[in-house]
Structure 1
Amino acid sequence: MAAQLPIPVYSSSDELYKDLGTATDHATRWTNLAEEFEKRFGRKPSYIARAPGRVNLIGEHIDYALFGVLPAAIERDVLIACAPRDPLAHPRGSVNAHNLHYKYPPRSFSPVKKRSQAGSTPDEEPGEDAVHVEEWHLEIDKKELRWESYVKAGYYGVLNHSFPTASATSPDEPDSHPLPVDLLVTGTVPAGSGLSSSAAMVVSSTLVFLAVNDKLEGVSKGTLVEMSMENEQRVGVNSGGMDQAASVISTPSAALYVTFYPRLAATPVSLPGKSASFVLANSLVTSEKAVHARTRYNLRVVETLVAARVLSLRLGVDVGARERITLRQVVGRVANEPEGGWQEDDRGLRSALERMVKEVALLRPPTADADGQEGVSLEEMIKWSGLPEKEFHDVYLSWIDVEAEHFQLYKRAKHVFSEALRVLEFRDICLKASSADVSTNDVLKKLGGLMDASMESCSKDFDCACPELDQLTQLARDAGAYGSRLTGAGWGGCTVSLVAEDQVEIFITKLKTTYPPYKDLEGDTLEEVIFATKPSSGACGA
């Protein structure tokens, strides 16, 4: 299984670059980074970590409901060069972080150990049996995120994973410290574009801190995904794992079918033929996922989780009083999914989803047709959940910041179920196209139709689009795309369009002349915001 494989560490440049794609001059970027590191710090880097951004072909906002998705790594990536400093001359674990981009100033920081009490409850005075424990602490301001916050997030996870803390009353316990390091960051994934620049930063920083401290042994791709998921939560975003899995596990020339239930798994899915490309177009609306999380991303997490509980109750499915059941688990329980999950062909899951697309109507408020409001107030939502108010807050609101007047349980669940079904259909079309003599044009039309349906659902039911994304996807269809949809969290960022290979240049020219923000862009500036991409390999080091 791909998730169980080790992280690739290359010793040969030829071996390294052949898997990264051909649309970017990877050799020049790696060489320039190493040379600049030596100029700044007076020695060569001991390790360079790479993590790519990703494009999600289909399956938006369903990973945290535990449904499968179909992303692919792109060639654009984050590189971090790193080397240890003299541990006798610098504080243990200290980090001197530089960024090649002029707008990101150098930062320095160090983790510290703070003493806490174990063995007593927060409301009690520490008893004689309380243990004084030192825990790692590294300040990350979630309200004012800076570029190094993502580096810190990766570092924090490595500290917790690889460097044991010690009890102050048990001095013989291991008490190792990370090395002091210099690091230099560069990246080509546009921030806020929906191409997962934040995950690329967190994955690459997690990987480089593991490597420079000689902690990579035994860390599989799946372990790196899980660590990176937890690490990104430290900057205030509750990620479902798609971004990290795509950045770590992807293989060249294929999408990645990533599933999360009953466990993380990833399977390459060959894309049909070489007669079409995926073109990424930046709407130039910046989506700051962490900044707006409480009214957007985090809110959708809560809406889908509460929708799962309410739907379970209305379908007679048993749910534990404090269980935070997901929509994927609801599907499995309603359809009596066998232990260990349905088989790889997903016929059981497809059949169950077809039913749930209809059953989701149970979440519509009785007054929806009369007043047009398909959401419910917080008070109504708590009542629907069947939980006492305090218990509801403990289970659904105590661990995440959200803000809303109405919670759209029906619309969010409707999108999740229909989008999960589209993912299975997209995957099946690709699998059949690779094993049967079918018309490529017909295959591309079917895939494009699914992308268009996904965009409509994202816009109308999940409300994660924006006027610019709606306009850009329509212009893409008018310019000849088989299909076009937003990719990433939405609310700005990029679109992905399926375009015939021999029409890519014409397609880009048409978008330049019809999408107003592009009209004055030329040359490299235009290539930064609209470009074709080839599926790349996942995270690696050298």
Structure 2
Amino acid sequence: MAETPAKKPSSDPPPVFSSLDELSQGSETNAKRYQNLVQAFKTKYGTEPQFIARAPGRVNIIGEHIDYSGYAVLPMAIELDIAIACRTRNEDVINISNTNPKYLDHQSNINRKLNITKRGMMWYDYILCGIAGAEDYCNIDNLTGMDLLVDGNIPPASGLSSSSALVCCSALATAHANKIALPSKAFFAEMCAKCERYIGTEGGGMDQAISFLGEQGKAMMIEFDPIRTTEVKIPKGCVFVIANTLVPAEKATAASCFNVRVAECRLASLVMAYQLGVKRWEEVRKLLTLEYASGHELKEIMTKVVTKHLRSDPYTQSDLCSIMDVDKQYLWKEFLNEQTKSIEEFQLYYRVEHVYNEASRVYQFKDIANDPNGENVAVKLGKLMDDSHASCRDLYECSCPELDQIVAIAKSAGSLGSRLTGAGWGGCTVSLVREDKCKELMETLQEEYYKGHSNGMENLDASLFVTKPGPGAALCVF
């Protein structure tokens, strides 16, 4: 099988267009939204915007909860996006508004430290996060005042990365408004992954990377440190169907869910590194780093390292301190954080089993999809997606009954493979479907899932839809 070479992301900055048609890149829905956003800005602020920034959401096809352990993921950008219309102002304030009236206005004084609520309790915290990130990492000495109007069609708390798109879009808008020579897409991606931690979420960088590096019509395998991408072919005659459970997957739940999984993977790396006698074991905080330090390849590390050095029962904080010969204060300070130091038990073995097997599935998916002589490619890819969902459900425990229900319905209606996408605990599923089965699958989901849920038939187009890979972040300057 010919190996598809990874490429280093272009050093080019995000594209800058001069018309809304160019910015929409073929999406009639987005073109109309952008026109409406310009009119709404004029109504809100009494003048026209100087530019619009946009950043897309994403669907992760396979590779869940492994980016923060250092492993490659395989997402695609989607056409749904966050768009921000902006005009600079001479006053020392930033005004943030939303076209959706349920999101309250906010004003920040730029002469004071931006007040970002940990865990993103307010919608505009993500906008402030992007502003603060651009200020810190783009070396902006004195922020300029701005009027911002935000519009988005990514369903919130759906697992399609609406919050990261807010951060990415805000950072891009801030850099341009402050007359910064735009850095590369890869720089923006890494910067936004770092600055999202102002919110308190310890993500691995997938959402931000695909938001900037996405390309129309292409899925991408993304590797990290440094970021590099490999194009992945979508099987001919197949599409992806997104189905929202209508169960919110809020990033504000990070303290009880997402950040605990990050901590468990970190602790597993440290425990195994200590027991292997790795020098400077306390720096081995990612499972990929542990793989390298152990001297074993991905395909053998489960059998030769994990089963030997980790038990299947949970570990208490006292257990961890005893194994690594540290006290609790050191454990809290060096290896946990404010959201996780109150957790008494951590599951390590099953989390690691998921990560290493899921990482292997990503590479298998890429190789099968890109094999020019491959047979039954779509069926094989679907099987990998099914296995991924089972692992997320049983080993990583990040599914929920509604996600499992939609996956089962999709499979019964002809999906080649279905799985949760995004962090889980609610949000969306993604299903690989042959085009001739797409209508039947969507009708079955409508009958067997959405009609049985309160408000399930309201705004169905935003809950159940076909998607294709869309372009990455961009600007339109008038």
TM-score under structure 1 length normalisation: 0.82
Q: Residues 411 and 319 of structure 1: is their aligned pair in 2 closer, same or farther, counting only changes over 3 Å? A: farther
| Aligned equivalents of 1:73, 1:162: Cα separation in 2 | 25
Question: 1:342 aligns to what?
Answer: none
- State which of 344, 352, 355 in structure 1 corresponds to 2:300: 355
Give the C-alpha shift of residue 504 in structure 1: 1.1
Measured against aligned partners, the alpha-carbon deviations of 1:186-217 in whole angstroms (never above 9, x if no partner) come to: 001111100001100000001111111111x1
Do the aligned partners of 2:450 and 2:456 also contact (CA within 8 Å) in 1?
no
- In the other structure, the counterpart of 2:174 is 209
1:330: how far off?
1.2
Match of 1:408? 347
Cα distance in 2 for partners of 1:363, 1:242 equals 29
What SS does the corresponding residue of 1:192 show, helix, strand or coil? coil
For residue 200 of structure 1, the aligned residue among 157, 165, 174 is 165
* Pair 1:269-2:239 in alignment: no
The one-letter code sitting in structure 1 at the alignment partner of 2:335 is: Y
Residue 144 (structure 1) shift: 6.6
State the partner residue of 2:121: 145
CA contact under 8 A between 1:307 and 1:409: conserved in structure 2?
Answer: yes
In 2, Cα distance between equivalents of 1:379 and 1:522: 46
Q: How far did 1:431 drift?
A: 1.0
Tell me which moved more, 304-313 or 138-147: 138-147
How far has the Cα of 1:257 moved from its partner? 0.8
C-alpha displacement of 1:357: 2.6
Is 1:16 the counterpart of 2:18? The answer is: no
Which letter does structure 2 place at the counterpart of 1:101? Answer: N
Letter in 1 for 2:306: V
1:154 aligns with 2:130: yes
Q: How many residues align?
A: 468
- Is the aligned partner of 1:541 residue 2:475? yes
In the other structure, the counterpart of 2:240 is 278
* 3-state SS in 1 of match to 2:402: helix
Partner of 2:249: 287
Q: Which amino acid aligns with 2:246?
A: L
Name the aligned partner's letter for residue 529 of structure 1. Answer: S
Distance in 1 (CA, whole Å) between partners of 2:384 and 2:318 is: 37
Does the 8 A contact of 1:99 with 1:184 survive in 2? yes
Displacement after TM superposition at 1:14 (Å): 4.3
State the structure with more CA Rg: 1
Q: Over residues 328-349 of structure 1, what are the superposed CA-to-partner deviations in whole Å (9 max), with x where a residue is unaligned?
A: 011122237xxxxxxxxxxxxx
Cα contact 1:250–1:268 (8 A) shared by 2? no
Give yes or no for contact 1:247–1:539 (8 Å, CA) kept in 2. Answer: yes
| Deviation readout 1:314-363 (Å, 9 max, x if unpaired) | 3x351415414210011122237xxxxxxxxxxxxxxx111013232234
- 2:197 matches 1:233: yes
Q: Which amino acid aligns with 1:500?
A: R
Give distance in 1, aligned partners of 2:249 and 2:454: 22
Q: 1:13 Cα deviation (Å)?
A: 4.1
Distance in structure 2 (CA, Å) of the matches to 1:151 and 1:28: 23
Identify the residue that residue 430 of structure 1 maps to in structure 2.
369
Amino acid of the structure 2 residue aligned with 1:472 = I
Query: How many angstroms apart in 1 are the aligned matches of 2:403 and 2:320?
Result: 31
Unpaired runs of 5+ residues, structure 2, are 1-7
> 1:18-54: per-residue Cα shift (whole Å, max 9, x none)?
3xx54x5121111111111112212211110000000
Letter in 2 for 1:502: D
Whole-Å separation in 2 of the counterparts to 1:325 and 1:520: 43
Could you say if the C-alpha distance between residues 218 and 147 of structure 1 is closer, same or farther in structure 2, counting changes exceeding 3 Å? closer
Pick aligned residue for 1:392 from 331, 337, 355: 331
Residue 124 of structure 2: SS of its match in structure 1? helix
Q: Quote the Cα distance in structure 2 between the aligned partners of 1:473 and 1:180.
A: 47
Kindly indicate whether the alpha-carbon contact (under 8 Å) linking 2:270 and 2:281 is maintained by their aligned counterparts in 1: no
Taking every aligned residue pair, what percent have the same amino acid on both sides? 37
Structure 1 unmatched runs, 5+? 114-136, 165-175, 337-351, 369-373
Give the aligned residue type for 1:266: T
Equivalent residue number for residue 63 of structure 2: 59
Aligned residue in 2 for 1:448? 382
Residue 314 of structure 2 corresponds to 375
How many angstroms apart in 2 are the aligned matches of 1:99 and 1:518?
Answer: 32
Q: Secondary structure at the match of 1:112?
A: coil
Deviations 1:163-193 (A, max 9, x none): 55xxxxxxxxxxx422211110000111110
Q: Secondary structure of 1:83's match?
A: strand
Q: What pairs up with 1:20-59 in 2 under 5 angstroms?
A: 22=27, 25-59=29-63
DSSP 3-state at the match of 1:198: helix
